[in-house]
Every structure is written in structure tokens, then in C-alpha cells.
Amino acid sequence: MNSKYKLATAAAAVIAIAASGLTMGSAYADPSGSPTYRTLSGVGSDTTEGVVAGLSDGITSLSLTSSLVSDGTITDLTGATIPSGTKIVGSYNAQGTATIKTKASALCDAVTRQNGSGAGKTGLLASLNNVNTPATTSATGDVNTNGTITNVSSTTGVQAGLQVTGTNIPAGTFVTGVSGTTISTSGPTLPTGAATAAALGFKGDGCLQFSRSSSGGSGTNSPALTYVPFALDAVDYAVTPTSNVSRTLRKSDLQGYYTCNTDYVTETITSISVTAGGTGYTSAPTVVITGNASQGSGATATAVVTSGAVTAVNLTNAGSGYGSITVSFTGGAGSGAAAKAVVTSDIKPVLPQAGSGTRSFWESQMGIADADVVAGKYPCIIDGSYNSQTIEEHTGTFLTDNMLVPFSIPQYNAQATQLLTDRRGRAQLASIASGGTSSAPTGITSPNKVNTSFNITRSVYNVIPTALKNTSPWKEVFNGGSSLACSSASQAIIQAYGFGLSGSCGDVSNSY
């Protein structure tokens, strides 16, 4: 162990949580009270489930009422005006029963509960693309180049938020309203031409209208999604009171731990695990064990081939000095075999479960790719599970003295004040420095406090279909700095949960 970077012991004093006037309250659960089913239903991020529930239902313990309520001018998915004072948003927890019921429709009786930002997006897209729609499947109508569909033969079950397909209608076009036999639409472009009595199809089950995300968008989604920021989060690292990891680290030190750099972590290779057997091997390929960044040497192993596939790798020499490790195969006339090193490590950096927005954000801050983590390039990392249990983000009950884990500061504080279920265990937030050296860091940011100068910050988002950003009720709730999610009443709730205010709240320019 390099004592320059690792502490044999750490102070055992418990950090006092500055409550800032917060009183003890109940941890949030799925929507309850009236109305049972809300117009906009959402799932996803564990990081923001509490604050979005607070925006949706208010915080009784702080006498802060829901800010996401109708003013009497907002319409629901059928076009009916939502009465003034009615709660609009139903935000469902990341953890709980396997399924949830989000709407009165039987199609929404068993919606899969989604845990994490990535899972939330997946659930939203599945709902938007569900072909088991309540809308009529045999309608015809006249497609017009202004985006309307007139003379529709049947509009039974057709409502805002369903996708519509037909001649000249671009993919990703949504219904925005129904009036008599006319359907209004919004899509990536207007229809490419007129069509008379065109056969119409509909997609979407109407069960989910948004998702929560603690990471920004990426790639191309079908249909396109817009990531609407509403608050700022700060992510720290957490350790136990008696941790072998320093309670003050620079970001570069954290990166050293999460890349298994030997200045921070001491590893010993104990075995090689085959992750893919490949095909076509007529003889045992040569096993190549490479220490990245010129760290490590001397490890050797032999492959075992059965029926053309690599079925085992026997470690013959553990070598020494390894940090990040790549295992590859050459020769043997086959292809596709893959393996990773299994190690013991004196320090174990932790990542939460796959699909977590905090996981992907922390990986980006640490300069590591998720594909490399999964492939085993960083064998010192505990990858999403420990002792056969999934590691949920912002949970510290599993922490030992040789672990460190990313933890949202607002989540930590909300758990400490019982606004959210307390899953901290012995976890305590550490301090991140902006400069200096590992032994003498400077610019130390105090834990338990969110501010725009914190060293690792991120926006958090509500995710909506891009084509619906100007359609009621998505527009009134999410779109723009004057939206309900960005109102002064919402800002009070956002800050009560420990999040920072976002200068880009309601920005709808980020489409993926």
C-alpha cells in the first residue's frame, strides 16, 4: 500500500448534516391520493425520484404544496381541460413492486417498474412504441401537408401522445389533439405529400409520458426524445468513518482509483474468467495478459479448448504490478474468445448497477468507458453487484473500509433528513479538492453542500418525446423557464431536496 495515497485509518467522527430548516418527514412512495392516475406518468432515475415526487405531490412535512398542478387552462391527453388545482404528474419510484399501474386502462395494469435513467428511457420508448394500442386499428383519413389528418373514419381511443403512421406521414409523428374527425399532429417534419383516404395506424399504449434521468441524452432514439433540465446535482464519493481511503481527494486521485492505477491500488491476479468461448479453435490459442499504462508484467496462462471453443484459462503465473488489465487471445485458428482477469485488491472502487445515470455520469468523470468496465479492463472495480446483491445508486449499506462509491449530495442529505428512505448505512461524504497534490490538496469543497462551484456537478432531467414539447400538458409542465417545473414554487421544493437551481431549467434544445 502506498501511504502517500492511502490512509491506514480515518477519523471516525460523524459528519453533522445541516438541515437548513428541514423537518423530519416520510420517505416518498408511488403517487397516492387524488387523482389516482395522473395525466403525465413517469419512471426512471433513483437520483431524482424524491424531488420529482415532491414536485408532483408536495412536501407535507415542510408545508410545501405540489407545484405541478393545473391552473384550469391545461388539457389532458383527450383534450379535456384539467380542473384547477388538480395534480398532473405521477412519478413512480425506481424500486418497489415489479410492476405498477399508471392509468385506468387495462393496458397499464402491469407496467414494468424501471430502475435507473437508462431503464427509464427504455420503459418510455417501449410505451411510446407499443403496438398494442387502445386506438382503432382500421381508421382511414386524408393526410394534409400542414400536419392535420381530416375526415378520419374513427377516432375511438385516439389521444395526444400516440404515434400515427400512414402514407406520407414521417416516422415519429405524434397525435397532439383530436377535434371531431380531425387529428392534429406534430413530427420531425410535415407530411411529404397529401394522401386521400389513407390507411392509418397508431402506436403507443398511453401508459408513460416521461422519464427521469440523472444523465444527459446520447445517440439517436426512435422516436426522438428531449432531455429537459430542471435542477443541478453534485456527486461526491462516500466512504466509511474508518475507511482506508482518504477523506479528501482530488478528482485526479479518484480517477487513479477508478482506473486501478498502481499508485492507488494494489492488485494480485488470482484467476482468468472466460466471458466468451468463441468458435472455430482447432488448437489452444496463446493467452496474452497485458498491463495497461505500462503497469504490470510476468503473468502467464494457458487456454483450454473444447469442441472448438475456449472453455477455461488456467493461470500459471500471477506476475506483479498490474493495474488495469486486458486479456486477449492469438492463434488457434478460431475467433471470438474473450476473458478477463479476476483479482484481489486492497482498495475496491464501486460502481452502481447497470443502467444507472449516476454510473454513466461517474464513468465519464473518471475517464473510463462502460464497455471496458464490463469487459474487465479495470478488475479492481466492483461492477454493480456485491455478495450477489445489486448495488443501487446512492446506497451505502454494503460499504466496507476498503471501498469508495459515488453518492449524490442531495440524495445523501434527503436520506439524512428522512425525506427519502435512509440507505446510507455507514457511508459518509468525503471532500473533493480542486488542486494541490495528493498529500497536500487545495481548493477543498465541503461535503454535504450543493453549489455551482462544486467540483463534480451535473444537470438532472425529465425526458419527453421531442414532438410533444409544445403540446399540452407537456408544454406547460416541462417546457421553458416559466413552466410549472421551473416556477418559484418548484424551486423551493428543488432546494428543499438539496438540489441546486439550474439556469437552463426548461431548456428543450437537447434532442436525441
Q: SS3 for 217-276, per residue?
A: CCCCCCCCEEEEEEEEEEEEEEECCCCCECCEEEHHHHHHHHCCCCCCCCEEEEEEEEEE
Checking if the pLDDT of 337 tops 50, the result is yes
Give the separation between CA 104 and CA 237, rounded to whole angstroms.
42
18 pLDDT band, cuts 50/70/90, is very low
Residue reference for cell 398542478: 69
Confidence of residue 25 (pLDDT cuts 50, 70, 90): very low
Strand partners, 41: 90
pTM for the whole structure: 0.83
* pLDDT for 153 beyond 70: yes
How is the chain split into domains, by residue range? 140-203, 234-445
How many angstroms separate the CA atoms of 94 and 91, rounded? 9
* Band of residue 420 on the pLDDT scale cut at 50, 70, 90: confident
pLDDT at position 450: 59
pLDDT in the model for residue 135: 73
H or E stretch at 329: strand 325-330
Q: What's the pLDDT band for 293 if we cut at 50, 70, 90?
A: confident
Q: What is the CA radius of gyration of the chain?
A: 26
Rounded Cα distance, 157 and 107, in Å? 12
